[in-house]
């Protein structure tokens, strides 16, 4: 994590000082790094609730995007994200588009990401495209250790 700019994203600020982790981090280059096997809990959401269920870390896969509230995300981040989610959906068919939410949605007031610059409709459109998973196969997903 040493090469990440701690000011770039609240996640990076937190991880610099606290015990925080995410399953995946997608950098602005579009490179994705997996830090935690998918079937293990990562500490990314903190105090959170989704559809009445508290503690989202217990039942979610955390993907962080390097970015901020003022700069558009990169095209390559969207395609990497869509490819990654598509692969995860292949493994977890219940992971419908309606279950893909931001930290700002599960921890409102405490977390703001991915924030106003993130184009949710663009992500949904990419996820609906045939062949989306084919773009994501250049790295091996770690399911468990």
* Closer residue to Zn ion in complex, CB, 80/133: 80
* Closer residue to Zn ion in complex, CB, 23/103: 103
Find the angle CA(35)-CA(74)-CA(71) to the nearest 5 degrees.
105
Give the list of residues 6+ apart from residue 99 with CB closer than 8 angstroms, or none. Answer: none
Q: What is the CA radius of gyration of the chain?
A: 14
Find the angle CA(74)-CA(120)-CA(131) to the nearest 5 degrees.
75
Tell me, yes or no, if 64 is annotated catalytic: yes
Find the angle CA(46)-CA(51)-CA(125) to the nearest 5 degrees.
90
Which listed residue (14, 51, 64, 129) is catalytic? 64
* Closer residue to Zn ion in complex, CB, 48/89: 48
Residue 35's nearest CA partner among 14, 26, 60, 79 is: 26
Binding mask 43-82 for Zn ion (x = CB under 5 A): ---------------------x------------------
CB of 105 to Zn ion, least distance (A): 11
Query: Does residue 23 interact with Zn ion by CB under 5 A?
Result: no
Q: How many residues bind Zn ion (CB under 5 A)?
A: 4
Binding mask 96-135 for Zn ion (x = CB under 5 A): -------x---------x----------------------
**CB-hemisphere CA count at 13 Å for 86?**
21
**Annotated catalytic sites, by residue?**
64
Which residues of this protein are in contact with Zn ion, per CB under 5 A?
11, 64, 103, 113
């Amino acid at each position: 994590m040493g090469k990440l700019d701690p000011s770039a994203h609240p996640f990076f600020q937190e991880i610099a000082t606290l015990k925080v982790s995410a399953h995946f981090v997608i950098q602005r280059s579009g490179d994705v790094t997996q830090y935690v096997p998918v079937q293990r809990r990562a500490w990314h959401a903190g105090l959170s609730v989704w559809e009445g269920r508290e503690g989202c870390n217990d039942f979610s896969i955390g993907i962080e995007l390097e970015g901020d509230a003022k700069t558009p995300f990169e095209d390559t981040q969207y395609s990497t994200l869509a490819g990654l989610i598509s692969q995860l959906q292949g493994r977890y068919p219940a992971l419908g588009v309606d279950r893909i939410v931001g930290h700002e949605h599960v921890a409102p007031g405490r977390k703001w990401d991915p924030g106003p610059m993130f184009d949710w409709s663009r992500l949904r459109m990419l996820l609906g495209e045939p062949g989306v998973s084919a773009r994501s196969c250049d790295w091996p997903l770690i399911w468990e250790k």
